[in-house]
Amino acid sequence: MLSYVKRSKYLLKRVENLYNSIEITDGEKMIQGYGMASGKVILMGEHSVVYGMPAIALPFLDKGVECYVQEYGNGIFLETTYYNGDLDDSPELLWGIKHLIIETLRVLNKEDINLKIIINSRIPAQRGLGSSAAVSVAVVRALFDAFEIKLNDDNLSQLVHIAESIHHTDPSGLDAKTILSGKPIYFKKDTLIEEIEINFDGVMVIADTGVKGQTKQAVQGVKQIKEKNYSMFEETIENIGLLTEETRVALGTNEIEKVGVAMTQTQSLLQKLQVSDHHIEKLVRVAMKYGAEGAKLTGGGKGGCIIALCKDGHTANNVSEKLLQNGAKATWIYDMKEKGMYE
């Protein structure tokens, strides 16, 4: 098992190697930039957060996404796991990033620049772990770094919102704020972001269903439920809001069982909002059967990942093993104190 600290050191070495390999032309400094960002896990409050209810989200403190920018060729060339080629021809999956790059270069007044933008992500895409927001943050940081222009969090948030709005209409901003804060946060759309201290002994298992999550469709589905059955919608999101508030208190008092119960109850409410699916529900059942205190989907749902809260590392390892034996495509253990993840 490679700890997240070891992984971070390994990634840092790779960045150093990359910088060493970039040539300096004619004594002039070549344009080059670097940006990175971590991912996030939503502990409580996905979907209801879009409608003003609170949410709690935690960052991974190891580097999830790294972006390197260097002067290159003619136009903008994108190098990612999914696509290598001109920015103009990038596939729909990357349209959010495409618009973000165009807008960031416009803000920087560098629209005519020739660049290669390399994106390395260790966060699985479309799994509710904040990969799209983390890619956006890393790209903006790298572009500002390349032109040695200071970037404040407000500008960064505004730029990242461009890509997020394309990925799923009307994002709450939770993903980007968690990634930018680097701390566990208690968040309410447009009104409140509080960093929270977590002194909690629980250990969380994150398990990938292997099915791409569909945040945009899930968010739209909830909107339709709101239009068709407002009273059920309102009651459901208010109950998720109450459970999120209870969780916040229980995180501070180290009451693992309470947090677990709130998570499982929230999963039932998310089922009512039709953002769960049978892959998620199977993994939730397996986690509960093998000793988790609570389990639920995390992120947009309709595929993606589940989180299962365990009282200690031993139980978490066991739950993780059982999840892998019962259909999970990958698992990570998230130490809630360290905010680090390992496979």
Binding residues (CB under 6 A) for ligand MEV: these are: 42, 46-47, 49-50, 128, 171-172, 174-175, 215, 219, 299-300
Euclidean distance between CA atoms 114 and 116, whole angstroms? 7
Complex with ligand MEV: residue 306 or 319, whichever CB lies closer? 306
Q: Which residue is nearest to ligand MEV (CB)?
A: 172
Euclidean distance between CA atoms 304 and 202, whole angstroms? 22
Q: How many CB atoms lie within 10 A of CB 110?
A: 15
To ligand MEV, the closest distance from the beta carbon of 215 in angstroms equals 5
Complex with ligand MEV: residue 46 or 145, whichever CB lies closer? 46
Complex with ligand MEV: residue 128 or 202, whichever CB lies closer? 128
Q: Are 62 and 341 in contact (CB under 8 A)?
A: yes
Residues in the chain: 343
To ligand MEV, the closest distance from the beta carbon of 216 in angstroms equals 9
Euclidean distance between CA atoms 231 and 225, whole angstroms? 10
To ligand MEV, the closest distance from the beta carbon of 164 in angstroms equals 7
To ligand MEV, the closest distance from the beta carbon of 45 in angstroms equals 7
To ligand MEV, the closest distance from the beta carbon of 323 in angstroms equals 21
User: Whose CA is closest to 112, among 102, 126, 124, 97?
Assistant: 102
Complex with ligand MEV: residue 134 or 310, whichever CB lies closer? 134
Q: Are 254 and 311 in contact (CB under 8 A)?
A: no
CA angle 160, 54, 239 (to 5 degrees): 135
Complex with ligand MEV: residue 51 or 72, whichever CB lies closer? 51
To ligand MEV, the closest distance from the beta carbon of 70 in angstroms equals 31
First to last CA, the chain: 7
Complex with ligand MEV: residue 67 or 219, whichever CB lies closer? 219
User: Whose CA is closest to 30, among 69, 67, 66?
Assistant: 69
